[in-house]
Chain A
Amino acid sequence: MAKQAVQLSKKKRTKYRFQKLKMCKKCNRYSVLKDQNCSKCGSAYVGIDRLVKSIFKNRLFTEAMWILMIVSIGIVAAPTVQTLYYSLVAGLIFCISYVVLTFVFMKSEFFIQLKRLLRADFKKIQAGIQFDSELAKADVKEDRLAPAYEKLREIGDFINSDQLKIRRVMVLNEIILRSDMELELEPLIPSSYDKDFVQYALEVLRINRTLITKKCIAYFIHYRDAIVIDFGMDSLIAVAGTALRMKLYIVEFSGFIEEFLEYFPKERVLRLCNILYSNPDVDWGGLSEKAKQLVAMKYHYDPDFKRFVS
């Protein structure tokens, strides 16, 4: 099947993940998607911050009512005029102290309220995300890949199951990937071998090598046998090539790089030699020796390698 050319919107960023939670008060349903309005009833979502604030306000209002009632009873029930004045003053001081206390502890009270709400509504939140996930499924079925992926990406901030990762990867594999897309790789690494993921990773490697991180290279090494069967040796050579990006990676994966050294193009070998040459005190394992042999064999007469040939 031909891949779709789509435009992916930028991911919505919030300082904390829970800030993405919102609720449709009409359906009493949570969502983590970017939509401003409920997909079921169309009414506007209320963000979790506002939700907590309104609960908090309601609580303060109830408390204020109680306090006013107690103070009023105290004043009204005063047996003499003198006690009435006394109750009035005492009630006033009490109310002021109460308000000051509330303001001083506002932040931690808000925090506790948020925590309580998340704990109490946890099942509801889970059900809401499940509903979001169903919406994404429907999008995939109707071939609306961009909205499907955007939904799965938001859900992925909360759910890190392999199943969801693979669903995201499978949608991405149907899309023509471009370097201007905000692609992710490391958060999509599943806990076991998955052909779709490797296919996606190799595509990403072609577009943006910087996304191939330590964890990703480690994944390729761990499942190398299966990867060679499914994608051929070239895929491993390409991944080993990306490890040459950083000195840190070269040290970490020196054995892996060593295996494929002879298959690298000249500029990669040159880059590697440069790094090895300028860091003689680092323990490169057998890599240093192997590189020397390769240069002696293959690039002996190459002027670019002149300074590495002793």
Chain B
Amino acid sequence: MSIYSIVFTSILVVILIWKTYKLFKNKRNSGDFEGIDDELVIMLNEGDSIG
């Protein structure tokens, strides 16, 4: 196998690993939709400027 093929393959593998890492991280950080609802309401009511 040529050096070229090895470098090209390595680049693709690194991209895949990076992508998988990010996807896993996002999956771990994602909660449930109730959590989003609660966060939204808390954020909107924090300043209490709307009446």
Contacts and interface: CB of A to CB of B under 8 A. Distances in A.
Interface string B8-31: 110110011001100100110111
Interface stretch (A93-101, A208-216, A250-258, A266-274): A93-101
23 contacts: A18-B33, A67-B15, A70-B15, A83-B4, A83-B5, A86-B1, A87-B8, A94-B12, A101-B19, A101-B23, A108-B26, A109-B23, A112-B29, A112-B30, A115-B30, A118-B40, A119-B43, A122-B40, A126-B50, A155-B50, A159-B51, A161-B48, A164-B51
A111 interface: yes
Given A115-B39, A129-B44, A164-B51, 5 more contacts: A16-B34, A70-B11, A98-B19, A101-B16, A111-B31
A201 interface: no
Contacts of A16: 33-34, 36-37
Q: Please classify how large the interface on chain A is, using the bins under 10, 10 to 19, 20 to 34, 35 or more.
A: 35 or more
Interface string A134-166: 000000000000000000000100111101100
B4 A79 contact: yes
Nearest to A90: B9
A91 B8 CA distance: 9
Contact of A159 (B4, B11, B26, B45): B45
Contacts of A71: 12
Contacts of A114: 36
B28 to A, nearest CB: 9
Contact of B2 (A83, A98, A130): A83
Interface of B: 1-2, 4-5, 8-9, 11-12, 15-16, 19-20, 23, 26-27, 29-31, 33-34, 36-37, 39-41, 43-45, 47-51
Nearest to B44: A158
A74 to B, nearest CB: 5
Contact of B51 (A74, A80, A163): A163
Interface of A: 15-18, 67, 70-71, 74, 77-80, 82-83, 86-87, 90-91, 94, 97-98, 101, 104-105, 108-109, 111-112, 114-115, 118-119, 122, 125-126, 129-130, 133, 155, 158-161, 163-164, 167
Contact of B23 (A105, A126, A160): A105
Nearest to B7: A74
A159 B8 CA distance: 54
A192 to B, nearest CB: 14
Contacts of A105: 23, 26-27
A67 to B, nearest CB: 8
Given A90-B12, A97-B16, A159 B44 contact: yes
B50 A129 contact: yes
Contact of B37 (A18, A90, A104, A122): A18
A104 B1 CA distance: 32
